[in-house]
Amino acid sequence: MSKLTHLDDQGNANMVDVSEKAVTTREATAYSEVRMSAETMSLITSGGHKKGDVLAVARIAGIQAAKRTSDLIPLCHPLMLSKVKVDLVPDPEHNVVRITAFCKLAGQTGVEMEALTAASVAALTIYDMCKAVDKGMVIAEVKLLEKLGGKSGHWVAGDDNA
């Protein structure tokens, strides 16, 4: 098993020094979903929610969250993201909104945490906007789908060769 990089030799938390790492293109894609009642899904897809366009607000929240990840996760480096894309796809047949967040940059450290934060905060925003009508919503499946770049190269969830 690999050594945890955010711990020094004494076990103290520290920010990893990336100054000697090569600048490469780095990308990450994360996923989350929000499961809800049929009534809540109908409000979202019909545009009938009194708070406005739930998916548009969640998309903006996810993008903003990716940009602020280092303020939220203590040992993350502040990054100059070159692209953040948050897609929200309602699936009325299963009463779920599927969220995919993509982050990209040219830098010395990966963007996995930014993608995961974007997907998570987009899901939390849906919950916040809809909790008055559906407190039983479930945020689930927050996970990294893929990462590209850096020393560890290309990794895909579920790919045994990654």
153 or 93: which leads in pLDDT: 93
With respect to residue 121, please indicate whether it lies within any of the assigned structural domains. Answer: yes
pLDDT value at 5 more than 70: no
Range from 36-50, 77-91, 136-150 carrying the lowest mean pLDDT: 36-50
What is the dihedral angle through the alpha carbons of 37, 40, 42, 48, rounded to the nearest 10 degrees? 170
Q: Is residue 72 part of a domain?
A: yes
Asked whether residue 160 is domain-assigned, the answer is: no
Out of 53, 128, 134, 159, the active site residue is: 128
Cβ 66 vs Cβ 60: under 8 Å? no
pLDDT at 70: 94
Query: Known catalytic residue: 134?
Result: no
**pLDDT for res 110:** 87
Residue 127 lies in a domain: yes
State the pLDDT confidence band at 1, using cuts at 50, 70 and 90. very low
